[in-house]
Amino acid sequence: MNYDDIRPYEDHEVNHYINVLLKDDIFQEVLQFIFQDENQRAQAKAMLSKIQTVEELQLTFMLSLVTDWIIKKTTCGVTWSGLDQLDKSKSYLFISNHRDIILDAALLNYTIVKAGMNTTEIAIGNNLLIYDWIVHAVKLNRAFVVKRNLPARELLMASKKLSTYIREAITNRNRSVWIAQREGRTKDGNDQTQQALLKMLNLSNDKDFVEGFHELQIVPLSISYEREPCGISKVEEIYKRESEGFEKTQADDLKSMAFGLTRPKGRVHFSFGKPIDAPLEEFAKAETANESVQQLADYIDERIYKNYKLWPNNYLAADLMNGKDEHADKIEEATRDKFSELLQDLVDTIGEGDPKRQQELFVKMYANPLLNAENAVSKKANA
């Protein structure tokens, strides 16, 4: 199958497309935004122009950029757990909750490189490929394209090709893949795996349910930001959808990318689950194929909820939403003060509408991860 319309760039194409980027006027502005010192910018361009392979690009330029420009400047540190349970010589399909357009995948690759693994291939929607420079930049960094908003027949064909591409990457090329559990970022903190994602993955399965999903080596991944990178813009979008029939534009996506990269995120944690194996036998016993897929989706959700790193903001938000002090022992006064500042910043930034409703949405966004984790524990205890 020919994957040229969706695949990342290969090593022999790297230097060519880097030099295409370096001649792009908008990319020049991006470099100027990142490297405001003229000498640093010149050094970055010189380094980029000589790079010949994807690995060289990612392990020199990109790793340094993520470390120095994102982690050091906008986070209080990135940590991870569970990677020691994975075989570093094998490939996996990481299915995670989705909070930020760029950061989720960029920081995932940072964590696994630091743990001694190779970078993943990354699924990215074609709706985000607004400019040529974005296409080149993501394809140079092992991103493959998920085509959306196609007529039904074309969408089915594109989904089959995507499914086959992912399966071949994992089973034939020993390349790990990252894909979000849903189309689009979670806006309200309520992470849920879409059944459509798993059905797409199964389109390339020529075996039975168990063997087909087992060979993908699905690893549920929980991504936890202490502060939502795009919390204000997410609340604004939900609020406008409620009251104005809001339609998101490409400009909104660009704004979200910029917010995610530049705004404070506090501490960030990646929690890797174990590959899903034994439970597949049980899911296969369901009466219908749809029920089997939904049970798998529910299981992925349960693992993401239980492994999610909860922060003081999550406990505080749950107490604020419920009007109780059930988690007071986990909340310091400084957390309360800072969260109040975030709520005020939210209202000031949006600038119009019902402040109370906007703050309710913001609180709910932080409370839902804790509520989902508690519900997952409760269901397990009652099972």
- What's the pLDDT at 381? 62
Nearest CA to 258 among 41, 55, 69? 69
SS3 81: strand
What is the pLDDT averaged over residues 236-248?
Answer: 84
Tens of pLDDT along 124-143?
999 999 999 999 999 999 99
- What's the pLDDT at 249? 80
Nearest CA to 126 among 117, 136, 135? 135
Nearest CA to 305 among 376, 382, 363? 376
Tens of pLDDT along 154-175?
999 999 999 999 999 999 999 9
Number of H helices, E strands in the chain: 18, 7
- Using CB atoms within 10 A of its CB, is residue 304 exposed (0-12), middle (13-18) or buried (19+)? buried
The answer to whether residue 246 scores a pLDDT higher than 80 is: no
The answer to whether residue 291 scores a pLDDT higher than 80 is: yes
pLDDT confidence bin for 383, thresholds 50/70/90: low
Look up the pTM and report it.
0.95
Residues 6+ apart with CB under 8 A from 167: 201, 204, 205, 215, 216
- What's the pLDDT at 255? 82
- What's the pLDDT at 370? 97
pLDDT confidence bin for 254, thresholds 50/70/90: confident
What is the pLDDT averaged over residues 183-187?
Answer: 91
- The answer to whether the beta carbons of residues 24 and 133 sit under 8 Å apart is yes
- What's the pLDDT at 251? 79
Mean pLDDT across the chain? 95
Which domains, and CATH codes, for the chain?
77-227+264-308 (3.40.1130.10), 314-382 (no CATH)
Neighbours of 305 (CB within 10 A): 24
Tens of pLDDT along 89-129?
999 999 999 999 899 999 999 999 999 999 999 999 999 99
pLDDT confidence bin for 253, thresholds 50/70/90: confident
Tens of pLDDT along 195-220?
999 999 999 999 999 999 999 999 99
The answer to whether residue 245 scores a pLDDT higher than 80 is: no
- The answer to whether the beta carbons of residues 21 and 137 sit under 8 Å apart is yes
